Structure 1
Amino acid sequence: MWHDNDFTRRLGLRYPIVQGPFGGGLSSIDLMVAVSEAGGLGSFGAHHLAPEKLGDLTRQIRARTQRPFALNLWVSNQDPGGDRLSADQFAAAIERFRPYYDALGMTPPPMPERYGQRFEDQVQAMLDAAPPVMSFVFGIPSPAILSECRSRGIATMGTITTIDEAIAMDQAGVDVIVATGFEAGGHRVSFLRSAEESLTGTLALIPQVADRVSRPVIAAGGIADGRGVAAALTLGAQGVQIGTAFLACEESGTNELHRRMLFTDDAKYTALTRAFSGRLARGIRNRFVEEWEGVAPLPYPIQNWFTGTFKATAAAQGRGDMISLWAGQGAPLLKHRHAQELFDALVAETAALLR
């Protein structure tokens, strides 16, 4: 049976379908609970949350589902120079973004105390919260952290973009390896080489990784319907991680403008850009992406902080040209607007193809 394998048995799932974790507030408890209750693995991108919020988040989730779920962190959440700006540098950065504040009728923000969270603080809070699964991107946690996860009964799931990263993840003893092709929406989570040097497609990546590692492989990138699930399983994956299709559902944490854009012809045209966060990510091409082409962004998370100061206002004003519209190359395949409908379709289509 296609949904009974090492991966589903290890995590206690009915179906090998993982909802991709969305960072920056795009995740929601409603969505992850819907997926987990349907028999898959719901996920919540928590890298933007302060450590003290992680325990509360875990308790809220457990109050709504007893099924397995995953919380996701970024192992590397700061690029060189991304921890601070001098007063002069901050003033110069404000001037770079002033046209966007002016267009939205906003007053530029004051300098913050910090631009993002520290993984070292977050991961200790994560260990204390002890979710069923800790997933992570942009690197591999230390052996001590992985050992602590095992001792607390926390399954680990790490994401890779290349064969070398997969081998490193396997040797580290991570329980499940998510192999993501460049078709995927959102951030390219490479960690051994630059993201631009790690752009392997899902079709080529999955069988090569499956041939070289001993852990279950989960395929991600460009999968939006049962055909993609069946193809990934045929290529050697034991499950799939689906992002854009779940992001488009009403239960996700994104805004209505973003969801609506995922069902338009604009979704056919995605771009890999560092414009919004300072790290390479795939989203629908728009004015902001085009205006930053050839322009060096500030390092992550500083660039991300600045764009985050106006994205909510831009969305509220219907300015799709000024917000990050994360989307994978499979977006034109989207049909469903509710998580249960999408999940049921994935199961039925996959079963029919693999029967």
Structure 2
Amino acid sequence: MTTMLDTLCVPLIQAPMAGGPSNAALAVAVSQAGGLGMLAAGYKTVEAMAAEIDDVRAGTLNFGVNLFVPEADPSDPEALDAYATALAPMAAELGIEAPEPGPFNDDQYPAKVDYLVANPVPLVSFTFGLPTADDVARLRSVGTEIVLNATDPEEVSAADALHPDAIVVQGAEAGGHRATHGQAKEPSESSTHELVSLAREYTDRHVIAAGGVTSPEIAQNLLGAGASAVQVGTLFLTADEAGTKDAHKDALVNGQHRDTVVTRAFSGRAARALSNRFTERMAANQVVGYPQVHYMTAPLRAASADNPEGLNLWAGTGFAVCQARPAAEIVAEFRSL
């Protein structure tokens, strides 16, 4: 069966990056250039997601929407209280109130699925876990293609059982949140190339390679290992169209002196970011606590908007090649694939 991946001019998917970067302008620019643009519905209301979908439809017919699957692993209330206490001195330095653990929320996931069934889009992908078979069937019934995420062979096998159109295999090089099926799970240290090769033993569906894809040469090696397409995130963080904070963009373009670290400090889930004062100060206090930690640190991040030392500077290991340029130029680099 032919899928959207089979019809792309460039076998490249723009990674859905929640929190601002993956806006409608970026998705449209990538799709118009021959790749597949993705909207990130995470942290948005249903209404905000719907408005962005309308904005994208005005510029392209080829796009996808990514949803956060509600967290399966519970958080420890005492650990969350302890983390709030650890954050209090930083809040005081910023002149804001000390954060308190908020209640768990499901990111309006059921309502978002309902909306996408009633208002179909070409493709929906899922991160942080797997949708139910019923949700997959409902979306398929309205013509939507399904893409699932996995970070190790066990997760590839579980994803394959739901018969998706493709599986994103995310290696350790990836920036931002690791897509592990459960927040408490320690992410695999296997490279993207290793995972793509392993994935081929567990599925015959399209495999999309994600993590460390910063050049056409790397992409070609991944296609040779069995991937049908690549997913690129970090390079697009500094695209002209991206909604990435200016301080974040500048840190990527001019932060070659920084290292990346995998940290739970900002959200309670493992994510790769540029090392900064926040990650260093909270390294010994990290807890498993998504999405509560995300909402606890949100006021601190907002108060640090112009200071990269207090921001979640998501970045893959290959961030040093990031440049400020149009998204179409990034896609064009991969046109030879």
* Same fold, judged at TM 0.5 (above): yes
- After alignment, is 128-137 or 332-341 more displaced? 332-341
What is residue 18 of structure 1 aligned with on the other side?
A: 13
User: Quick check: 1:268–1:332 contact (8 Å CA) kept in 2?
Assistant: no
1:132 corresponds, among 118, 122, 137, to 122
Distance 2:2 2:171 in 1: 22
Distance 2:103 2:207 in 1: 40
What is residue 276 of structure 1 aligned with on the other side?
A: 266
What is residue 69 of structure 1 aligned with on the other side?
A: 63
User: Quick check: 1:180–1:202 contact (8 Å CA) kept in 2?
Assistant: yes
Give unmatched runs, 5+ long, in structure 2. Answer: none
Identical counterparts, % of pairs: 32
SS in 2 for 1:30: helix
* Aligned partner letter, 2:214: A
1:55 corresponds, among 50, 54, 58, to 50
2:241 corresponds, among 241, 251, 267, to 251
- After alignment, is 276-285 or 44-53 more displaced? 44-53
What is residue 157 of structure 1 aligned with on the other side?
A: 147
Distance 1:238 1:163 in 2: 17
**Structure 1 position 36 matched with structure 2 position 26:** no
SS in 2 for 1:240: strand
Go from structure 1 to structure 2 and tell me whether the alpha carbon gap of 1:297 and 1:110 turns closer, same or farther (over 3 Å shift): closer
Distance 2:23 2:159 in 1: 28
Deviation at 1:303, TM superposition (A): 0.6
1:289-309 deviations in Å (ceiling 9; x for gaps): 111112143611111001112
User: Quick check: 1:225–1:333 contact (8 Å CA) kept in 2?
Assistant: no
Deviation at 1:14, TM superposition (A): 1.7
**Structure 1 position 224 matched with structure 2 position 214:** yes
Deviation at 1:110, TM superposition (A): 8.1
Distance 1:261 1:184 in 2: 17
**Structure 1 position 343 matched with structure 2 position 331:** yes
- After alignment, is 37-46 or 94-103 more displaced? 94-103
Distance 2:5 2:331 in 1: 19
2:190 corresponds, among 193, 200, 216, to 200
Go from structure 1 to structure 2 and tell me whether the alpha carbon gap of 1:265 and 1:96 turns closer, same or farther (over 3 Å shift): closer
Distance 1:170 1:250 in 2: 36
What is residue 317 of structure 2 aligned with on the other side?
A: 329
Deviation at 1:205, TM superposition (A): 0.7
User: Quick check: 2:104–2:291 contact (8 Å CA) kept in 1?
Assistant: no
Distance 1:267 1:181 in 2: 23
- After alignment, is 117-126 or 231-240 more displaced? 117-126
Distance 2:294 2:26 in 1: 24
* Aligned partner letter, 2:64: A
User: Quick check: 1:271–1:283 contact (8 Å CA) kept in 2?
Assistant: yes
Go from structure 1 to structure 2 and tell me whether the alpha carbon gap of 1:13 and 1:202 turns closer, same or farther (over 3 Å shift): same
Deviation at 1:311, TM superposition (A): 1.2
1:238 corresponds, among 224, 228, 236, to 228
- TM-score where L is the length of structure 2: 0.91
User: Quick check: 1:272–1:281 contact (8 Å CA) kept in 2?
Assistant: yes
**Structure 1 position 142 matched with structure 2 position 169:** no
Please report the RMSD computed on the Cα atoms of aligned residues, expressed in angstroms: 2.5
SS in 2 for 1:123: helix
Distance 1:9 1:111 in 2: 41
SS in 1 for 2:112: helix
SS in 2 for 1:315: coil
Deviation at 1:122, TM superposition (A): 2.4
Go from structure 1 to structure 2 and tell me whether the alpha carbon gap of 1:56 and 1:78 turns closer, same or farther (over 3 Å shift): farther
Deviation at 1:190, TM superposition (A): 1.1
Distance 1:116 1:33 in 2: 28
Go from structure 1 to structure 2 and tell me whether the alpha carbon gap of 1:197 and 1:105 turns closer, same or farther (over 3 Å shift): closer
1:178-227 deviations in Å (ceiling 9; x for gaps): 11101000111111795425232112111121243111111010011111
Distance 1:162 1:207 in 2: 11
SS in 1 for 2:209: strand
SS in 1 for 2:304: helix
Distance 2:197 2:203 in 1: 10
SS in 2 for 1:179: strand
User: Quick check: 1:165–1:192 contact (8 Å CA) kept in 2?
Assistant: no
SS in 1 for 2:230: strand
1:159-191 deviations in Å (ceiling 9; x for gaps): 110112112211211111111101000111111
* Aligned partner letter, 1:206: V
Go from structure 1 to structure 2 and tell me whether the alpha carbon gap of 1:263 and 1:179 turns closer, same or farther (over 3 Å shift): same
* Aligned partner letter, 2:31: S
